[in-house]
């Protein structure tokens, strides 16, 4: 695997840990493959924010292979 690919995977994993946007319509997209990810944990609302944790189900995605958790943040507007 090339160094640049490994750096891109590391950046995607960091983005997944930091949090991606959650949309009630489209859900949360994997930062690597941009496919909808499956929710496995939803935390209660805290003020106007709700945190969810997802796993990518795309078998060809490195984040799915590593079983990296994807954090999503939903804002109540």
pLDDT tens-place string over residues 22-71? 998 999 999 999 999 999 999 999 999 999 999 999 999 999 999 999 99
Per-residue pLDDT band at 1 (split at 50, 70, 90): low
Are 54 and 69 in contact, with CB atoms under 8 Å apart? yes
* pTM confidence score: 0.90
Helix (H) or strand (E) run with residue 74 in it: strand 70-75
Are 38 and 58 in contact, with CB atoms under 8 Å apart? no
In the 8-state DSSP scheme, what is residue 15?
A: H
Cα gap 24→33, rounded to integer Å: 19
Are 52 and 38 in contact, with CB atoms under 8 Å apart? no
The SS3 of residue 11 is: helix
């Amino acid at each position: 695997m090339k160094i640049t690919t490994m750096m891109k995977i590391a950046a995607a994993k960091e983005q997944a840990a930091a949090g991606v946007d959650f949309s009630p319509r489209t859900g949360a997209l994997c930062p690597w493959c941009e496919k909808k990810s499956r929710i496995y944990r939803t935390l209660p609302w805290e003020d106007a924010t709700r945190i969810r944790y997802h796993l990518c189900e795309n078998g060809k995605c490195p984040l799915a292979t590593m079983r990296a958790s994807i954090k999503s943040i939903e804002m109540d507007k």
